[in-house]
Structure 1
Amino acid sequence: MNANWIKVFVAAFFEVFWVIGLKHADDFLTWTGTVISIIISFYVMIRAGRELPVGTVYAVFVGLGTTGTAISEIIFFGEPFKISKILLILLLLAGVIGLKLVTKDDVKEGADS
């Protein structure tokens, strides 16, 4: 895995924090953390998108962020556990992993391969 894919994973990690923050922030400190998470998340994702195909970067970013957010809501915020939700998350992750596997790391979007 190259450094640009690590950037996508870091961006998705911070996405989980800002998405949760948008729902649960209620004071200056939590809103500040939410804004900082947004800035870090998008900055790192944009940096990765400069070297990797932007469509794949965005799909992986959103897929991992969605998965992390859904799991965090279940674990930390009492969202009901539903097997159907877990199966759909696994399906989403399979798609994200598949996209990552079929994407060449060294090809920019629009370049001839």
Structure 2
Amino acid sequence: MNKTWVSVMIAALFEVSWVIGIKHATTWYEWAGTVIAIIVSFSLMIMAGRTLPVGTVYAVFVGLGTLGTVLSGILFFGEPFSWGKIFLTATLLVGVIGLKMVTPEETEEN
């Protein structure tokens, strides 16, 4: 796997962190962590967009972030589980994997 794709996945993890932070942060240090997660998340995504197609990077970033946010909500924050939610999230994940598979590893030289 290309290091640029790894950075997109890490960016998506930070996206999940800041989305959770926006909903649950109550102290200054939780808000500081949320802001740091936003900065890291978007910085990594922007850097990945320099070598990979921006549309694909954004779709993968948002898709993985959505998957992580939905699963975190169910597993850690007591949001209701439904098979429909899991099915639709899995469908999104299949689309994200498909985009990654059909996208060239790098479109510019480093």
TM-score (norm 1): 0.93
Q: Report whether the alignment pairs 1:41 with 2:41.
A: yes
Aligned to 1:25: 25
Name the counterpart of 1:88: 88
User: CA offsets, 1:37-72, max 9 Å, x none?
Assistant: 000000111111100000000000000000000000
Partner of 2:77: 77
Compute the displacement of 1:106 (Å): 2.0
Query: Deviations for 1:16-45, whole angstroms, at most 9, x for unmatched residues?
Result: 000011111111011011000000000111
Superposition RMSD in Å:
0.7
5+ unaligned residues in a row in structure 2: which ranges? none
Alignment identity in percent? 63
Structure 1 regions of 5+ residues with no counterpart?
109-113
Aligned length: 108
Q: State the 1:15 CA deviation.
A: 0.2
Moved over 3 A (4+): none
| Cα distance in 2, alignment partners of residues 78 and 30 from structure 1 | 20
